[in-house]
């Protein structure tokens, strides 16, 4: 049995360093992948909004590229049309109790994952070697994404 064997590390493209697998940056990208997975499910389940979910996935892909290669923030203009009108004040429990199928629950789960991604993003912005990638300018679209998912959950629960 080899001696001095430790847990593996991975090469972090953001900081150009070797990083532990339990690092904050790895957790951020794992949560981002989980959110993308939920959006992939929504793409299949909510055909009426299929094009919006494709745009959401494109946005997240562009965000990841922007963070890693420190490029400009991805465009968020397409979110604005989805966020017009009155802001829903519905409680999550009410949305779920009204639902006639699993779609609102999937949307609520996706928006909760978006919130987790947002939380991890802010944490990453406070770590000196990562803060150049995790800027305020790149953050805004995550808030829009979360709000759009909430609005869709409320709307679908009322159908």
Quick one: average pLDDT of 125-145? 93
Sorted by sequence, the CB contacts under 8 Å of residue 113 that are 6+ apart come out as 31, 34, 35, 38
Q: Is 95 a residue whose pLDDT tops 90?
A: yes
Q: Is 130 a residue whose pLDDT tops 80?
A: yes
Give the per-residue pLDDT at 6.
76
Percent with pLDDT over 70 in the chain = 96
More confident residue, 46 or 21: 46
pLDDT, averaged across the chain = 91
Q: How far is CA 86 from the centre of its chain?
A: 23
Confidence of residue 4 (pLDDT cuts 50, 70, 90): low
More confident residue, 130 or 2: 130
Confidence of residue 21 (pLDDT cuts 50, 70, 90): low
Give the per-residue pLDDT at 7.
77
Quick one: average pLDDT of 5-13? 76
More confident residue, 10 or 147: 147
Tokens of 33: 């992948």
Quick one: average pLDDT of 17-45? 90
For 58-73, the pLDDT digits (tens) are 999 999 999 999 899 9
Q: How far apart are CA 105 and CA 107, in angstroms?
A: 5
Q: How far apart are CA 53 and CA 44, in angstroms?
A: 9
Torsional class of 19: left (φ above 0), alpha (ψ -120 to 50), beta (otherwise): beta
Instruction: Pick the closest to residue 122 from 27, 11, 21 (CA basis).
Output: 27
Instruction: Pick the closest to residue 141 from 85, 75, 95, 49 (CA basis).
Output: 75
CA-only gyration radius of the chain, Å = 18
Give the per-residue pLDDT at 134.
95
Phi and psi torsions of 10, nearest 5°: -130, 155
Give the per-residue pLDDT at 152.
97
Q: How far apart are CA 20 and CA 40, in angstroms?
A: 28
Q: How far apart are CA 52 and CA 49, in angstroms?
A: 5
């Amino acid at each position: 049995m080899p001696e001095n064997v430790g847990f593996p590390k991975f090469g972090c493209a953001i900081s150009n360093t070797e990083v532990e697998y339990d690092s904050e940056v790895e957790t951020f990208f794992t949560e981002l992948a989980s959110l993308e997975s939920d959006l992939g499910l929504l793409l299949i389940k909510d055909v009426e909004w299929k094009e919006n979910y494709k745009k959401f996935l494109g946005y997240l892909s562009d965000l990841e590229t922007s963070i890693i290669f420190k490029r400009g923030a991805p465009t968020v203009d397409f979110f604005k049309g989805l966020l017009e009108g009155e802001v829903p004040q519905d409680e999550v429990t009410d949305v779920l109790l009204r639902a006639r199928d699993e779609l609102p629950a999937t949307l609520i789960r996706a928006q909760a994952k978006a919130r987790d991604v947002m939380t991890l993003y802010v944490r990453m912005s406070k770590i000196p070697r990562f803060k150049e990638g995790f800027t305020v300018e790149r953050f805004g679209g995550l808030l829009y994404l979360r709000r759009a998912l909430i609005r869709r959950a409320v709307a679908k629960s009322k159908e």
